[in-house]
Homo-oligomer: A and B are copies of this chain.
Amino acid sequence: MCTQPTGNIDKEELKRLLDRLGRMSRGLQYCHGLNPAQWDCLRFIGQANRFSRTPGALAAFLGTTKGTASQTLNALEKKGYLIRVPDPNDKRVRHIELTELGAGLLADDPLNYLDRAISNLPPETVDTMATGLSRLCAEMQSRCGGQDLGICQSCGYFEGETDGGNMMCGLKQAELSGEDATRFCVNFSPVNETRDC
């Protein structure tokens, strides 16, 4: 004898499920000797483009302070999953690079379980969910700060196919490799107003 579903109950259920999925995802990330914050860091470095693999960008993305990010980087560097190399131009900046060990570990990302679960959903469901979540994120973002990331190719600063067929970043005035252009960038800015399509 189930209770009849009313609109209100569905909303409560949605909230509960979001909470639950978040908790499960978090719990999964205590593995391979890492914790959720360290996985977040490793994942970001693996997905960020050249300009964004710095302690400051990491902190901005994770919504934490530079101090905290620096400590997480210390922990991962000590474990041998990444290294920090000085920037030749700006001596204040250090670039973060995954080691081979770190890249290998990323293949065992516990959140890959989520990927597989998503793959088993009907495409229409995935589409509706993405749209709904996008709206939730947008509304939440207006309340708290936080920074959304996007890839260069859909960024307002992107200047594609100039002259010799090269891609450029109008902000950094730097050439983009094919790899750069398809990774996340902290300087991402939507093309024209409305956020993620």
A residues sitting closer than 8 Å to B (CB atoms) are 1-3, 5, 7, 10-11, 13-15, 17-28, 40, 62-63, 111, 113-121, 123, 125-137, 139-141, 143-144, 146, 148, 153-154, 191, 196-197
Contacts and interface: CB of A to CB of B under 8 A. Distances in A.
A113 B142 CA distance: 10
A23 B117 CA distance: 20
20 contacts: A2-B197, A3-B153, A5-B127, A7-B123, A14-B130, A17-B130, A17-B133, A17-B137, A22-B26, A23-B40, A28-B143, A113-B140, A113-B143, A114-B136, A114-B140, A117-B135, A120-B139, A129-B129, A129-B132, A129-B133
Nearest to A192: B1
A127 to B, nearest CB: 6
Contacts of A23: 40, 62-63, 146
A136 to B, nearest CB: 5
Report, nearest first, the 3 A-B pairs whose CB atoms are least far apart: A117-B139, A17-B133, A2-B197
Given A3-B153, A63-B23, A119-B11, A132 B126 contact: yes
